[in-house]
Chains A and B, each alone.
Chain A
Amino acid sequence: MSRTGIGEARRHRLAPYLLVAPGVVWLLAFFVVPIVTLAQTSVTDTGGAWYATYARALADYGTHFLRSLRYGLAATLLALAAGYPLAYCIAFRAGRLRNLLLGLVMLPFFTSFLVRTFAWKTILADDGPAVWLFRQLHLLGGAGRLLDTAAAVVGGLTYNFLPFMILPIYVSLEKIDLRLVEAAQDLYATPVAAFRKVVLPLSLPGVFAGSLLTFIPAAGDFINAQLLGSPNQQMIGTVIQNQFLEVRDYPLAASLSFVLMAAITIGVTIYARVLGTEDLA
């Protein structure tokens, strides 16, 4: 780029800082500082060692943590299984329908997330269409239910964050140079081998981004558990919300939040190492 002449460089030395300042100050004040406050809140009034509240949080709500991570993971895997074929079809098989299908994938963004989850409640209701269908197929016994089960919660989570899985995978698939696939076929690769050796590795960045964008909100979500599950399916988000807004045990709620953030950060770091992708942006 030829854009940095000497005079220009001097003129613009301060410019980038002036441009980023408002946004960065906002994020520092209302994202970084609150996290610090949260950390402080979690270690006040412990009535013992600084980590006493954390010990209590893990002892009382460890099952909720594990359940949240489990449901989040299940939803991510399901979203990957459902999202990859769709992203693949849109990228390689849709032809002129491509933009239309992309638009359709984004359609759920234009209706309220909560109203959609309520719609699932209608679909999965005991006298609703899904239960009827499952009974006809003998997948569900006469007294079997769909609502208030773990399956309903995981299904709802998968549904809600599926577009976040599909779009990054589509973007990485779309960038693939099709000549590479042709080359593989010229070298007598079967379609399956060409996919496994060429397309799949090149789409991994999309899989990585999509899994994060699905797993992080899914593990922290509590709407699906609250609307589609029973108290037995409650996730950690419900507990945090409840402790903060109803019980008002702020230190406990803060330590729960912190543990959730730490668990997710650790998980994401390990995942990034395994997949070898370092940059998130």
Chain B
Amino acid sequence: MIRRLGGWLLDGAAALVLLYLFLPIAVIVLYSFNRPAGRFNFVWKAFSLDAWRHPFAYEALTESMLLSLRVAAVSTAVATVLGTLVALALTRYRFRGRGAVALLLVLPLTTPEVVLGSSLLSLFLDLDAPTGFTTIVIAHIMFSVSYVALTVRARLRGFDWTLEEAAMDLGATPARVFTRITLPLIAPGIAAAAMLAFALSMDDFIITLFNAGSRVTYPLYVYGARRAAFPPQINVLATAILFLSLIVLAATVLWQQRTLRQRGPALGMKIASRGRPTAPADATQGCCPNRWTTATISRSALGTAEARRLAALGRANVAEMTAFLRQRGIRCDYEPTGRLMVALTLGQLEDARRVPARRARSLSLASLGVGDEATDRPSRAPRPAPRARSPRPGR
């Protein structure tokens, strides 16, 4: 009884906090339908659709919004590229100075915005550089790079780099590996980071105030509006942005879920390349039919118990399994250790990304075998040369 009461209290407290978070947003939306008595839309007077009918009635307000959109577009584009490159370097390489770079990324986040803004202004004053569009963009890129790099880095942890390696061993050029394998896999993370950078740039007030010169962004306009006039159009634009971002967010989430489902094998299956050197002629075609790639089910993705079960299943079903794969044009060989060797062409490897995870999993349950030693790490033990043309017959 007491436990139940505590739970209710907890839920009640959480609901109150959510209410606290929403209250101002509700007021913003509500007051976009207000017909204020004077120039300031702070007191409720009467319901009206006027502001929604003429959202761009205030030219200065519209211009400030356009300026904010321009600043956000430019700074997001630059910061996303710079930040993603840093994140890639930090996750993929160990290099001297790695810790210093990571620290440099965090520092702007632990520095108050007033300090960031005022220090940049003192630099521009020192250089006699006039403040305006360029300085706003410079400032926004500066604080966005950190957010982008940290967001992308968080998404890259747990990324399966062996897929990239396999493609490289199958003769793909670095450029092709990047555009066909790496980029599609990390794209959702980059998109999330870019959206964050865009939102931060649109909303930044303090740093912009110091470096804007005579330019007026949307937040600066709102700030100035407290003196001259605060029209309901401000609320209309804020509400419109809210709903637009919700739509974009929903679309991105759906897209990410789709890609997550698509990149099933990359998550559930480790594809480690092995095999013999290829003829140069094959390599130039970007496809080496004689190369072998082992696919093992990662224990971390399935859990040890299920990996064991799969191993048993696999041993019992070698014939079925090899037939299944050969039907699909994939040559394979089953080793008694429980490791399934699969010959994949580069095209098939790239396609592996597109197999839905659900199907990949059911495929693995029904027909792929996994040894007890199937782990994240492909074993380094020497292995008999794979027989490309004559798969081992089923037992």
Contacts and interface: CB of A to CB of B under 8 A. Distances in A.
B170 interface: no
Given A19-B85, A23-B86, A82-B20, A264 B112 contact: yes
Given A24-B86, A86-B17, A241-B209, A122 B42 contact: yes
B56 interface: no
A58 interface: no
Dominant secondary structure at the B interface:
helix
27 contacts: A2-B165, A2-B272, A16-B92, A16-B93, A16-B98, A26-B141, A27-B104, A31-B142, A34-B119, A34-B120, A38-B119, A83-B17, A101-B18, A105-B18, A109-B199, A110-B249, A114-B205, A114-B222, A116-B25, A159-B20, A219-B112, A223-B223, A253-B118, A254-B122, A257-B115, A257-B118, A260-B115
Dominant secondary structure at the A interface:
helix
Contact of A261 (B106, B111, B142, B203): B111
B47 interface: no
B298 to A, nearest CB: 13
A223 B205 contact: yes
Given A26-B82, A221-B113, 13 more contacts: A3-B165, A19-B89, A22-B82, A30-B120, A30-B142, A105-B18, A115-B234, A118-B230, A119-B23, A216-B111, A220-B112, A240-B118, A257-B119
B142 to A, nearest CB: 4
B108 A31 contact: yes
B177 to A, nearest CB: 12
Contacts of B272: 2
B21 A113 contact: no
B109 to A, nearest CB: 8
B114 A220 contact: yes
Interface residues of A, number: 88
Interface string A4-39: 000000001001110110111011101111110110
Interface in B19-33: 20-25, 27-28, 31
Contacts of A261: 111-112, 115
Interface stretch (B239-247, B277-285, B357-365): B239-247
A123 B3 CA distance: 36
Contact of A115 (B28, B83, B118): B28
Contact of A12 (B31, B93, B219): B93
A180 to B, nearest CB: 18
Interface string B322-348: 000000000000000000000000000
Nearest to A110: B245
Nearest to B246: A110
Contact of B138 (A30, A213, A217, A244): A30
A23 B121 contact: no
A120 interface: yes
A104 interface: yes
B43 interface: yes
A27 B121 contact: no
Contacts of A110: 199, 241-242, 245-246, 249
Contacts of B14: 85-86, 88-90, 93
Given A3-B165, A86-B17, A237 B114 contact: yes
